Structure 1
Amino acid sequence: MSDQQADMESLRHLVDSMQRLHDYCALLQQGATTFAYILPNEWQGPAMSAFIASFEQWNAGAGALTSSAGDLQERAHAIEATYQATIDALDQSWSKFQGEISG
């Protein structure tokens, strides 16, 4: 039987990186939501309408990025938790087995 190894430090780093990505995307979305509406009142007409439409697209894109980054972070966290639970269960099984054969 071959040995299996999990690099838990790398998994923790991945989870942390995915959380930072999600946080960054959320800030991007927040900026997209508010910036276009704080422009001076002098901005009017078709150019302003086109600008607002572009910002609404940016907001939708930022929302999709935030959602995707959140999904990635949740998956990375679930993978980390599953690996850690498996490692703990195997350690416990081996300890029990060693106790039985030496006892």
Structure 2
Amino acid sequence: MTEYVVRFLVGGAIVSAFAMLGDVLRPKSFAGLFGAAPSVALATLGIAVYRHGAGYAAMQSRSMMAGAIALAVYAVVVCHLLVRARLRALPASMLSLFAWLVVAFGLLALAGGQS
């Protein structure tokens, strides 16, 4: 229970810091970009280092990077299916989910997988 409270407090503080940074930068769309994933990832990695050590946090960060790359591939595939193949949103997203899974698990396999 304490871990969740710490994660909530640290995550909230980091979200606020990134939101202030995004408010200063131009264009304003950076505020939303900086307010979400980076702050949650930093809070999670900080707790992982504290509770499990640097090796565990390194493994988690590799997983986060693989997921981010897979998400970028997913977004590109969805856009191509929507615009070029003129598919509707549901079939395009379902087909792209397969691409996301292949890329995510492929990158994890190349990186040595989870230990």
Given the two structures, how large is their TM-score scaled by the length of structure 1?
A: 0.34
Max Rg structure:
1
Greater relative contact order, per chain length (Cα 8 Å cut-off, separation 6+): 1
